Chain A
């Protein structure tokens, strides 16, 4: 079952003539991990960044098509590209969270970092905040390391810890979809392993889309893989099919390292 349906979605950056994404159609399956792979400039990050409309921070981009998100309450799909009002954007981003390449801890305490999204969502009750923060930190395998210094600045954590903190912060608001934009490319192998494990565990609660340059990573953790090239979606299938039995020549060339 899909949680998101991207339909004939095209995207052109402000001030650029040629589109960065050309009529992409792709589902994001519920409680699965979908990996977006492809060489630099293929549009995978652009696609990911369209799924919570973070692109709207920068004016002048043009897009076309539909990106539909499942409304859990009504069971209907709603086109997120039609969102215009501030409060609808807030709702969208609470449903579709995002983790970035570089860890982005806010310059505040560990607790306040995780509580940030909760407070925006209007949760003021202190016990509830404390509970949700604790659950989120436990869910991100960070609780043991930080439970005695929640009031300390998050800037003092290591890179891997900071990235797990960012995951905790995104998980705390109970999103339905989490978007990961190369979440481990700034981390060492051990921290990368920890984050990968975490992502796999998270799919019990959320649906995940992950952009990665690391094909081993895609094959290790994802259930579905989409291969993109120069703004086109070349192939989308179950991960094992993409890696063991690709239908397209370009996919095979890329995953065997012949180009990219």
Chain B
């Protein structure tokens, strides 16, 4: 009887796993088939106004890059504070808030930045988009930094202190180094997450058909343009959306794999 239950349970588990994987495979297959058939290297050379994606890809990278420049230092220092300096209720309050922020719907963050930056400055801008992405990123970086630092054994900190090092020196020289790989992987995953976001950008940076490096106006974004293109009636626009989705997926995949690769090599 127990053997039978065991077998039934195993079969159900395998079935569920297969169903999940099948949908993932379906999505990826559709994406690759449709995306590849519309994919062409000239997409990397022309801007959207000429039927290419160059400005969108560059724009998306710039938005995610600036968001990282804001989000990584803020998130890391906050994570270090919670784990190394914070005590009692104040630190756990920040930790809880960060957890809540992590599960905040991204469209809400978009709306928040819309009210905070877009309305006062009189229009959508690259800066607003980057800030929205940074807000998405900060809790993830806080969480990773916090949990990776918590894995560093207490004795390692004490050993540094016992050699006469001050607390901040121990944190910088020893603790962060010991947790480096985990933190880097977490940051990479956070980056992979924000680079594929649409909702925070929809009404903050919007998108643009032209190449632009000017962050104080509407800024080209791959994800927002995919959303726009998919809603166009012409076949050619939707093909372009497929190609853009394909490129975006490959980008995210590469970042994720890099993250996994780093972790595996260092462990």
Known A102-B153, A106-B156; judge A117-B163 contact (CB<8 A).
yes
Interface size class of B (residues with CB under 8 A): 20 to 34
B159 touches A100 (CB 8 A): yes
For the complex formed, measure the closest distance between the CB of A63 and the CB atoms of chain B, giving whole angstroms.
18
**B178 engages A107 (CB within 8 Å):** yes
A171-198, CB < 8 A from B: 173
B158 touches A100 (CB 8 A): yes
- A116 at interface, CB cutoff 8 A: yes
- In the bound complex, residues from chain A placing their C-beta under 8 Å from that of B40 are none
Q: Which of B20-50 contact A (CB under 8 A)?
A: none
- Cβ contact within 8 Å between B163 and A108: no
Q: Is A206 an interface residue (CB 8 A)?
A: no
A108–B165 alpha-carbon span in the complex (Å): 16
A116 touching B165, Cβ below 8 Å: yes
At the interface, is chain B mostly helix, strand, loop or mixed?
helix
Tell me, in angstroms, the Cα distance from A221 to B159 when the chains sit together.
Answer: 24
Number of chain A interface residues as a range: 20 to 34
Q: Chain A's nearest CB lies how many Å from the CB of B79?
A: 18
Annotate A23-49 by CB proximity to B: 1 below 8 A, 0 otherwise. 000000000000000000000000000
Residues of B near A173 (CB, < 8 A) are 163-164
B-chain residues with CB within 8 Å of residue A132 when the two chains form the complex: none
Contact flags A126-164 to B (C-beta < 8 A → 1, else 0): 000000000000000000000000000000000000000
In residues 235-266 of chain B, which contact A (Cβ within 8 Å)? none
Question: B157 on the interface (CB 8 Å rule)?
Answer: yes
B162 within 8 A of A: yes
**9 tightest Cβ-Cβ pairs between the two chains A and B:** A104-B159, A98-B162, A117-B163, A90-B164, A93-B164, A107-B177, A94-B164, A107-B178, A100-B155
Instruction: Report B's interface with A, CB cutoff 8 A.
Output: 87, 153, 155-167, 169, 173-174, 177-178, 180
